[in-house]
């Protein structure tokens, strides 16, 4: 029979529902809160979930949104509540729940809902793309998501001011309505056709870096801008260039001015380094749910090693590394040794310091390389750099000045 996950913080309800469903021949797994439900869902996909809305740690609607965002809403979910509203039921259904039961739950209604859920065919295809909604514990990413939602309510165009370690694609995916079409304009070389915009109706058009577009692709951006309203489209573009730099490179000034009307500087991977373990774990989970890799998990040591990497290529580089680790490991757990094999820090390989020069010059060259590496790694945070290098702060500032390196300003580094 089916494997059914029951999520409810009331032990009496869990036991009663469990007894009924086991009598019906089902295999039942119990979870008293959202944390236990996540663990049960990650261990193996249940055939159906009975999910309480009101729970102390994370409410059922939030957990449902989380599963939907990270590609795990691949099983039917029936919501339960003792004091729900019509609005709550509608929201749960919009997110992906298939039914809604009011407590106390009548036996026949329970069995009928379970039967309908188990008979319901699952939607084929890959899970929805990963968005910021999957990252519930990172304060910077939650704030970024709220800002994007606020901007999306008032503007169809958004420019992301990015640099090294960009999270632009993850941010742009979150500017998109659930299930809406997605088109990367940088992948289209010839002139854009009206039918292509029509096929993306209600979706998001994305440009990962404006400065890399050809003249024809720049015209495609202008063509798109004039038709956003007509096809209910949103345009998200990213760049690390200033307005005047793009204009000097030949961009039309009026077009650039319009693109820069509404802009946002999302955090980089360096800004959310402490949240990188969650980022990597969610990326892996999404790859597993999409069938791109076998079921894998990270060890704590492996996640900590990933956190110390600079990730100049941003989200795309991180995703590629996680996928390579999952495909390359021989065990179910991705360990520290796997990370070290794939991601050898540059300073541990050939340093490029000539051994033929005098010791003093060689030492200075190595010190410059060492501090450049750790300034990048710590995002120029002088407190963390002092801890990492073992130098007192005044000595550290003096050393960086001697090497011609720029650290964080004292007044800003707290």
Residues 101 and 69 occupy one common structural domain: yes
Residues 86 and 183 occupy one common structural domain: no
More reliable by pLDDT, 259 or 65: 259
Closest CA to 264 of 176, 157, 131, 182: 157
**3-class SS at 101?**
strand
With respect to residue 240, please indicate whether it lies within any of the assigned structural domains.
yes
The residue out of 218, 237, 264 marking a domain boundary is: 264
Residues 38 and 105 occupy one common structural domain: yes
How much is the pLDDT for 395?
Answer: 84
Residues 48 and 22 occupy one common structural domain: yes
Structural element, H or E, at residue 157: strand 157-161
The C-alpha angle 145, 147, 152, rounded to 5 degrees, equals: 95
Residue 413 has pLDDT above 60, yes or no: no
Q: Rounded distance, CA 279 to CA 307, Å?
A: 10
DSSP 8-state symbol, 273: G
DSSP 8-state symbol, 343: -
Residue 412 has pLDDT above 60, yes or no: no
With respect to residue 310, please indicate whether it lies within any of the assigned structural domains.
yes
Q: How many domains does the chain fold into?
A: 4
Contact 300, 334 (CB under 8 A): no
Residue 411 has pLDDT above 50, yes or no: no
pLDDT tens per residue, range 7-49 = 999 999 999 999 999 999 999 999 999 989 988 998 878 999 9
Contact 368, 401 (CB under 8 A): no
How much is the pLDDT for 269?
Answer: 92
For residue 87, the domain's CATH number is 3.40.50.2300
- Three-class secondary structure assignment of 7-58: ECCCHHHHHHHHHHHHHCCCEEEEECCHHHHHHHHHHCCCCEEEEECCCCCC
Mean pLDDT to the nearest integer, 344-364:
63
How much is the pLDDT for 90?
Answer: 79
Mean pLDDT to the nearest integer, 335-358:
68
Residues 8 and 88 occupy one common structural domain: yes
More reliable by pLDDT, 57 or 217: 217
Residues 143 and 249 occupy one common structural domain: yes
Domain extent at residue 388: 359-403
Residues 15 and 78 occupy one common structural domain: yes
Residues 396 and 339 occupy one common structural domain: no
Residues 185 and 292 occupy one common structural domain: no
With respect to residue 414, please indicate whether it lies within any of the assigned structural domains.
no
Residues 256 and 165 occupy one common structural domain: yes
The C-alpha angle 272, 262, 155, rounded to 5 degrees, equals: 105
With respect to residue 283, please indicate whether it lies within any of the assigned structural domains.
yes
With respect to residue 352, please indicate whether it lies within any of the assigned structural domains.
no
Q: Rounded distance, CA 259 to CA 78, Å?
A: 44
How much is the pLDDT for 124?
Answer: 47
Q: Rounded distance, CA 18 to CA 236, Å?
A: 48
Contact 9, 36 (CB under 8 A): no
With respect to residue 221, please indicate whether it lies within any of the assigned structural domains.
yes
pLDDT tens per residue, range 228-266 = 999 999 999 999 999 999 999 999 999 999 999 999 999
pLDDT tens per residue, range 384-398 = 788 778 888 888 888
Residues 45 and 86 occupy one common structural domain: yes
**3-class SS at 152?**
helix
SS3 content of the chain, % helix, strand, coil (to 5): 50, 10, 40
How much is the pLDDT for 344?
Answer: 58
pTM of the model: 0.67
Contact 281, 177 (CB under 8 A): no
| Banded model confidence at residue 289, pLDDT cuts 50, 70, 90 | confident
pLDDT tens per residue, range 121-180 = 655 455 678 888 888 888 999 999 999 999 999 999 999 999 888 999 999 998 877 678
Residues 256 and 318 occupy one common structural domain: no
The residue out of 210, 235, 264 marking a domain boundary is: 264
> Which residues contact residue 191 at a Cβ distance below 8 angstroms, ignoring those fewer than 6 apart?
216, 219, 220, 223
How much is the pLDDT for 340?
Answer: 87
pLDDT tens per residue, range 315-336 = 989 999 999 999 999 999 999 9
With respect to residue 127, please indicate whether it lies within any of the assigned structural domains.
no
| Banded model confidence at residue 349, pLDDT cuts 50, 70, 90 | very low
Residue 379 has pLDDT above 90, yes or no: no
Strands 157-161 and 263-264: parallel
The residue out of 217, 236, 264 marking a domain boundary is: 264
How much is the pLDDT for 310?
Answer: 85
How much is the pLDDT for 338?
Answer: 92
Mean pLDDT to the nearest integer, 208-213:
93
For residue 289, the domain's CATH number is 1.10.8.60
Residue 346 has pLDDT above 90, yes or no: no
Average pLDDT, the chain: 87
For residue 258, the domain's CATH number is 3.40.50.300
Closest CA to 42 of 15, 78, 75, 65: 75
**3-class SS at 308?**
coil
With respect to residue 314, please indicate whether it lies within any of the assigned structural domains.
yes
């Amino acid at each position: 029979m089916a494997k059914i996950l029951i999520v409810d913080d009331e032990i009496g309800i869990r036991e009663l529902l469990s007894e009924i469903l086991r009598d019906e021949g089902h295999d039942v797994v119990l979870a008293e809160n959202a944390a236990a439900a996540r663990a049960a869902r990650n261990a193996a996909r249940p055939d159906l979930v009975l999910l309480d809305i009101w729970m102390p740690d994370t409410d059922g609607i939030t957990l449902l949104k989380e599963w939907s965002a990270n590609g795990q809403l691949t099983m039917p979910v029936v919501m339960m509540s003792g004091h729900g509203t019509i609005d709550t039921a509608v929201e749960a259904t919009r997110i992906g729940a298939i039914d809604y039961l009011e407590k106390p739950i009548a036996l026949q209604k329970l069995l009928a809902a379970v039967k309908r859920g188990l008979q319901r065919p699952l939607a084929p295809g890959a899970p929805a793309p990963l968005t910021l909604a999957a990252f519930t514990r990172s304060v910077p990413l939650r704030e970024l998501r709220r800002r994007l939602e606020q901007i999306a309510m008032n503007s169809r165009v958004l420019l992301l001011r990015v640099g090294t370690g960009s999270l632009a694609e993850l941010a742009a995916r979150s500017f998109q309505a659930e299930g809406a079409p997605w088109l990367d304009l940088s992948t289209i070389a010839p002139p854009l056709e009206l039918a292509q915009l029509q096929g993306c109706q209600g979706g998001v058009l994305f440009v990962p870096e404006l400065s890399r577009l050809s003249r024809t692709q720049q015209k495609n951006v202008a063509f798109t801008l004039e038709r956003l309203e007509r096809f209910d489209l949103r345009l998200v573009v990213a760049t690390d260039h200033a307005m005047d730099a793009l204009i000097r490179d030949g961009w039309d000034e009026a077009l650039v001015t319009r693109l820069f009307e509404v802009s946002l500087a999302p955090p980089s991977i360096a800004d959310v380094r402490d949240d990188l373990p969650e980022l990597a774990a969610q990326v892996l989970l999404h790859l597993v749910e999409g069938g791109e890799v076998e079921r894998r998990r990270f060890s704590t040591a492996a996640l900590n090693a990933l956190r110390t990497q600079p990730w100049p290529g941003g989200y795309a580089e991180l995703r590629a590394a996680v996928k390579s680790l999952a495909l390359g490991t021989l065990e179910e757990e991705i360990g520290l040794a796997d990370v070290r094999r794939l991601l050898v820090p540059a300073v541990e390989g050939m340093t490029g310091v000539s051994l033929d020069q005098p010791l003093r010059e060689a030492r200075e060259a190595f010190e410059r390389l060492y501090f450049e590496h750790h300034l990048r790694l710590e995002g120029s945070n002088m407190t963390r750099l002092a801890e990492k290098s073992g130098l007192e702060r005044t000595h550290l500032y003096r050393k960086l000045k001697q090497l011609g390196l720029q650290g964080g300003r004292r007044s800003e580094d707290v």
